[in-house]
Copies of this chain bind each other. A is one copy, B any other.
């Protein structure tokens, strides 16, 4: 496994130089978080990710998880690392101070979260779900539930899960069949089977808090009849300690392509005691509180795998000596030159670098909006930040995870045949990354969310506010040529998006995935021009020239990809719908 090193220099550049974090914190009344403190937290996070979590990754994949006598065992070392994680307060970074959280800005938490996912995607997943559960409970649960569960979820003493999917109900939650019967004591009796439950059980904590979608007896059919329930593995005693076991169990754990260190459970709820979260029949809204956060985190996982793969391929490309470079001998003291001197290898490395750094900037720009949403006292700013987050979530989730698979595959390719061998760790990144395109809504669903809910069916403010954010970054560009280029690109994207709004539902669905990619390549183009401009003022020489060169590569070799996506946007849907089943398989 390549050694993981947290990308602190790039992260510092994006936070302090590009996003001007100090100014940002001052505007939000968060003056305590100066550059020194931010960097200190990131350094500690980096140390934890590099030294504690990353070393467990390769062996965790080999060991996987097991289920015996109803009990899940995770790979060796995972539980101890988790205990260190919660003991050091990492789980509580974002939780409310009212429940012993640290209320940190997202711009501090997100870089740490990226590092954790780079170091070990399987290990990190459990705490992502806990963070999502914290959000749902914080926003929707009664004070009684909050008082019992929230501090424990925030500290990480207990973990959380999201129990949504059933065998017949994945993308389509209207088909959900799990039942919730009211009991005399105000609780509910939950019965049904759920699949794909990440960390549905684990050997890390003495309790687990399941957030379960189910139907009340009088519920309307479809998604409007779904409610959210909190169902603990052990019912808490009055002193808060885990008491009687609830009637729920792990049916099996899945054998998967990757993410093997994370137990993916089939969960059976058998008259299990649960508590309603939010109003009856509002489960879908409550779920989206969790889901949107989880979607961004999954996008961040994509970025994280891209970074890990880039580090692995860069190290190998420097070390591996094969053939002489076409531009002439580079390492005359060696029998061959490092493959990093080969143009085609550089094409792969720079594709990784340009997409990873572009996506990191996107993820931190998104984190900045989450800060505003969380801390601003200005309702207008808050609403705009909300709109931007809503619009960018499917792009962050969809694009950054598509990118992860592309980049992790490039990582294998740089290694040649060795990339296919498990011990190098590069193929694990491909297998682990693959789930990110699927869970928390497949990328097809992200694309439909973007083009229909966020673009066509919105009154236009989400697009407008997102455009305004990027326009503000363009306005800051000092180099006139870069500014003109960025303006033109952003304008092209805006007018293309506006044109799309007039399409009918079928043509929109046909254009969805292409629009997601098209948007990402355009917006990353703007980000790159803006970052390269900022980097001119950096006192780190390698940042200054490195950002300029990587921007050049992006604009020349990656941005042109947008054209074929754009072409497809206006191709309608007739060609897609014309093909009959007989034509699909030539019966």
Q: A242 on the interface (CB 8 Å rule)?
A: no
CA of A23 to CA of B399 in the docked complex: distance in angstroms? Answer: 50
Contact flag A550-B571 (CB < 8 Å), given A347-B510, A420-B438: no
How far, in whole Å, are A272 and B430 apart by their CA atoms in the complex? 39
Q: Which of B314, B420, B431, B435 touches A584 (beta carbons < 8 Å)?
A: B314
CB-based contact A578/B549 at 8 Å = yes
The answer, among B170, B314, B322, B545, for a CB contact under 8 Å with A416, is B170
Q: Is the CB of A568 within 8 A of B581?
A: no
A340 touches B581 (CB 8 A): yes
Which residues of B sit under 8 angstroms from A581, Cβ to Cβ?
A: 318, 340
**Given A413-B438, A546-B583, A580-B542, A506:B343 Cβ within 8 A:** yes
Residue from A417, A421, A564 having most chain B Cβ neighbours under 10 A: A417
Which of the 9-residue segments A250-258, A289-297, A298-306, A362-370 touches chain B?
Answer: A250-258
CB-CB contacts below 8 Å: A527-561 with B: 540-543, 545-546, 549-550, 552-553, 556-557, 560-561
Q: Which of B438, B512, B563 contacts A560 (CB 8 A)?
A: B563
A191 sits at the interface (CB 8 A): no
Of the listed stretches A121-129, A135-143, A441-449, A483-491, name the one at the interface; the rest are far from the partner chain: A441-449
Query: Chain B residues with Cβ under 8 A from A564's Cβ?
Result: 560-561, 563-564
Dominant SS at the A interface? helix
- For chain A, the count of residues having a C-beta within 8 Å of the partner chain is 105
Could you mark each residue 98-134 of chain A with 1 if its beta carbon is under 8 Å from any beta carbon of chain B, else 0? 0000000000000000000000000000000000000
Binding site for B on A (CB under 8 A): 7, 9-10, 13, 165, 168-172, 174-175, 196, 254-259, 311, 314, 318, 321-323, 326-327, 335-336, 340, 342-350, 353, 405, 409, 412-413, 416-423, 427, 430-431, 434-435, 437-439, 442-444, 447-448, 505-506, 508-510, 512-513, 540-543, 545-546, 549-550, 552-553, 556-557, 560-561, 563-564, 567-568, 571, 573, 575-587
Q: List 26 A-B contacts (CB under 8 A).
A: A9-B587, A172-B336, A254-B422, A255-B422, A255-B423, A256-B421, A326-B509, A327-B506, A343-B506, A343-B510, A344-B448, A344-B513, A346-B576, A346-B579, A349-B584, A350-B579, A416-B438, A416-B442, A542-B587, A549-B579, A552-B575, A556-B567, A556-B568, A556-B571, A557-B568, A564-B564
